[in-house]
Amino acid sequence: MAFRRFLRGTVPWPTLEGAVREVMDRYDLETARVVFLEADNWLSTPCVVNDDLFVKVVTEQNSLVHALLTAGRNLGAFSSGTEGFFERFDTPIEMAEHELEANERMREIGVSAPEPKEAFEYDDVAVMVLEYLSDFRALDDLPPEEVRDHAVDLFGNLDRMHDNNLAHGDLQRENVLVSGGELYFIDATKVDEEAIEDARAYDTACALGALEPLIGARDAVAAALEVHDPDELMAAREFLDFVNIRPEHDFDGAAVKGEIEKHAA
């Protein structure tokens, strides 16, 4: 537990308070109601300001943890038979600026993501500001029938990203939000654009892993086949074991593989 606390790290209260006051100054806010979000905040300290702005404070500790996670992911990619394609960030501001850029690129190609505002440095931390989606539910908060309604759209949005040399790289249930009947994607990580085909297969495997516990292997694979051909799903199959050992995924990998192989035969 002590090691987990060390990795997660904390932001000194004066720094957090100062960062929020800087946001208030930049957005002409006379008062601010700040709600800090409870989560396993390995990569940032997130909060919501006035139910309007989503703010992340990123520290050097967070960028160190991201580098460690990136090394582990690349090792997992290697175990799946491909070179690692995840890329690290050297500084907190690089992490913040990448997320803004990823959101902007998604929005430009017609994939919904919270509107990016800005990223700036305050003391020794980076501060990122996004639009806050006040009325949303994460994918795993939906009943199965609603997940089924969005499943094909999930793969379709990923395919649109891939066609534009953009990959999510960290697709999991809590990174897909539903607001106003639309899917929104958050927390995209950095991958090597030269390895987009491997990243495409990995994203697809993650989507299958995210959906299987919610709607079952058969419906998850059927939704994927509305967008991908069986050969593409066979490529994703190679990443399923790697995806399944990640702590944020827990699915019946054998069932998903069986459904893919049935359609590929």
Handedness of CA 23, 27, 30, 31 (dihedral sign): negative
Query: Are 144 and 107 found together in one domain?
Result: no
Q: State whether 198 and 93 are in the same domain.
A: no
Q: Are residues 193 and 79 located together in one domain of the fold?
A: no
Write out the H or E segment, with its range, that includes residue 75. Answer: helix 60-79
**Residue 33: DSSP 8-state:** -
Domain interval for residue 214: 136-262
Q: How far is CA 150 from the centre of its chain?
A: 17
Are 142 and 118 found together in one domain? Answer: no
pTM for the whole thing? 0.90
CB atoms within 10 A of CB 167: 28
- In angstroms, the CA 79 to CA 97 distance is 30
Note the pLDDT of residue 42. 74
Task: Tell me: do 163 and 182 sit in the same domain.
Answer: yes
Same domain, 154 and 255: yes
What H or E segment, with its residue span, contains residue 204?
Answer: helix 196-215
Which of 112, 131, 150 terminates a domain? The answer is 131
Boundary of a domain, candidates 96, 131, 166: 131
Per-residue confidence (pLDDT) for residue 166, from 0 to 100: 92
Last residue of a domain, one of 131, 146, 161: 131
pLDDT at residue 5, as a whole number: 47
Q: Are residues 95 and 140 in the same domain?
A: no
pLDDT of residue 41: 65
133-153 pLDDT, tens digit per residue, is 988 999 999 999 999 999 999
Query: What is the sign of the dihedral through the CA atoms of 68, 70, 75 and 80?
Result: positive
How confident is the prediction along the chain (265 residues), in pLDDT tens digits per residue?
Answer: 443 444 455 788 999 999 999 999 999 999 999 999 876 567 899 999 999 999 999 999 898 888 888 788 878 777 777 877 788 888 999 999 999 999 999 999 999 999 999 999 999 999 999 999 988 999 999 999 999 999 999 999 999 999 999 999 999 999 999 999 999 999 998 888 888 889 999 999 999 999 999 999 999 999 999 999 999 999 999 999 999 988 888 999 999 999 999 998 7
Q: Do residue 10 and residue 122 come from a single domain?
A: yes
**DSSP summary character for residue 174:** G
Could you say which DSSP state residue 41 is in? -
Residues 211, 120 share a domain:
no
Give SS3 for 181: coil
Same domain, 174 and 149: yes
